[in-house]
Chains A and B, each alone.
Chain A
């Protein structure tokens, strides 16, 4: 069965600092991988996706993620965090149109 692990429940970074959110997945075949962001009281917004090809994918809002098959990882990065990035971030693996989500990482940004 597919599963996604996000090891960090909370992360706090200073505004302007770099960010890396970790995601590990378990999936038998080539995975479809996604990162979503959720602000309080809101739905999920798709940041980026990996289906195949280049293992470094670019997304919206300056985010990128790198797929590493050998490590079963799909970590999300941003070189310089803005206060507006404070939110909860979810990694997901897709099996057709069924998404399996990690537990989420809450990002706090301190000024």
Chain B
């Protein structure tokens, strides 16, 4: 089976812009979770989607949002980018009933 794929792998944006990241889960997986990884805060949970519904949400401002499509692919959007949003954004997929997650390679976002 193909693994989790994330596009794009690298992004450079300017403060105030918005960005959309994409994640395609492992075939058959219905749950997609998003995490932010920074040197200062480590790995932090953003949100999880299962069957197009947000099932769980972390402690991030409303500028961070996501959605899931009927084919389980997911996107996350960050509006009004801040310098502190520079991070590696990781997507993980799971079956949704068995709680082991498989991670993609991440999208490296740099905000200037």
Contacts and interface: CB of A to CB of B under 8 A. Distances in A.
A36 interface: yes
Interface in B71-112: 90, 92, 94, 96, 99-106
A36 to B, nearest CB: 7
Interface residues of B, number: 25
Contacts of B105: 42-43
A97 interface: yes
A34 B45 contact: no
Interface string A14-45: 00000000000000000010101000001111
B43 A45 contact: no
Contacts of B100: 34, 46, 49
B58 A43 contact: no
Interface residues of A, number: 22
Q: Classify the secondary structure of A's interface with B.
A: strand
B41 to A, nearest CB: 9
Contact of B50 (A46, A97, A103, A104): A97
Given A43-B90, A44-B90, A94 B99 contact: yes
B61 interface: no
A51 B102 CA distance: 16
A32 B96 CA distance: 14
A102 B48 CA distance: 19
B58 A98 contact: yes
B45 A90 contact: no
A49 B100 CA distance: 8
Contacts of B35: 99
Given A97-B56, A101-B42, A103-B42, A44 B96 contact: no
B33 interface: yes
A100 interface: yes
Given A32-B99, A94-B99, 8 more contacts: A43-B90, A46-B100, A46-B103, A96-B99, A97-B94, A99-B35, A100-B45, A102-B42
Closest 10 CB pairs of A and B: A101-B43, A43-B103, A44-B103, A43-B105, A97-B48, A94-B99, A98-B45, A98-B56, A43-B106, A103-B42
